[in-house]
Amino acid sequence: MAECEIIAPRDLTQSKLKEALEYDPATGEFRWLQTNSHRRIAGMDAGGLGVHGYWRVSVYGHRYYAHRLAWFYMTGEWPKQHIDHVNLDKRDNRFANLRLATPPQNNVNTGLKVSNSSGFVGVNFDRRSGKWLARVRANGKRVNLGLFETAEAAARARDAYAMRNHGEFFRAAIQ
């Protein structure tokens, strides 16, 4: 999913954020520091689960992704890029689990799609040949790595290519 809010919010400063919320970098949770309504009581967890599975928090009338707020809270800089969840858990906003990423890097660090039938990232069955196809995306283009007799062989080929080309954002097809 493409992230929004890449542009820094005009009115939110790090000091205003820290007046409203407390962030625990070890747990990734935000808590309200002040009571300002029956729904926002000092000490309560802040935010809720958004439609795409990311935790979101409304601060001063604007809704933000919690992972972007965590980055801002800890660094004082609104992230100019995407924030990637290293372990793929969109709700795990521990600071150690967050890192800056370009859109292609963020897309590399994904898990299996719901429609995947092979059990491996980047591996699909090709009906015409009756073999397993390994492929990746590089520079916005799909790269076919070949046809293989087994899904495992295709996954190994995909992993070898991805490891060379995606560095720290590489996620193995074979776990």
Q: pLDDT of 60-118, one tens digit each?
A: 989 999 999 999 999 999 999 899 998 889 999 999 999 998 887 777 767 777 777 88
Cα 83 to its chain centre, rounded Å, is: 6
Domain annotation for the chain: domains and CATH numbers: 14-105 (3.90.75.20), 111-166 (3.30.730.10)
CA 46 to CA 23: how far, in whole Å?
10
pLDDT higher than 70, residue 41: yes
If DSSP codes are grouped into helix, strand and coil, which group holds residue 51?
coil
Q: What 3-state DSSP class applies to 45?
A: strand
CB 46, CB 57: distance < 8 Å: yes
| Residue of higher predicted confidence among 148 and 7 | 148
pLDDT confidence band for 3 (50 / 70 / 90)? very low
* 20: pLDDT strictly greater than 90: yes
